[in-house]
């Protein structure tokens, strides 16, 4: 179940590098680790740390839209940063 997803994650930066859209320094495994960790913490980790009556609905449409924006902001430097000197 995970291998096709991992193959896609690795292939996406490779294809981006091939067409010049992604930095040669982009590391697919590191990007996957950082972004999947953020998603896991957002959906499960924060809710587990809050009191049961806390007003936190991570899957509410407005919360998901805000998280998607934040995740894209986090992903861009990982994909498009200049190659290290």
pLDDT tens, position by position, 34-80: 888 888 888 888 878 888 888 888 888 998 899 989 988 888 887 77
Higher pLDDT: 66 or 14? It is 66
Residue 84 has pLDDT above 60, yes or no: no
Residues contacting residue 85 through CB under 8 Å, at least 6 positions apart: none
Query: What CA–CA distance (Å, rounded) separates 76 from 68?
Result: 12
Q: Which residue has the higher pLDDT, 38 or 29?
A: 38
Q: In whole angstroms, what separates CA 8 from the centre of its chain?
A: 14
Give the global pTM.
Answer: 0.65
The pLDDT, as a whole number, for residue 66 is 92
């Amino acid at each position: 179940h995970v291998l096709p997803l991992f193959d896609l994650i690795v292939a996406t930066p490779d294809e981006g590098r091939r067409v010049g859209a992604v930095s040669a320094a982009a590391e697919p495994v590191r990007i996957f680790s950082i972004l999947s960790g953020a998603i896991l913490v957002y959906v499960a980790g924060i809710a587990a740390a809050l009191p049961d009556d806390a007003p936190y609905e991570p899957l509410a449409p407005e919360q998901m839209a805000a998280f998607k924006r934040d995740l894209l902001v986090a992903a861009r430097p990982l994909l498009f940063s200049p190659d290290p000197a």
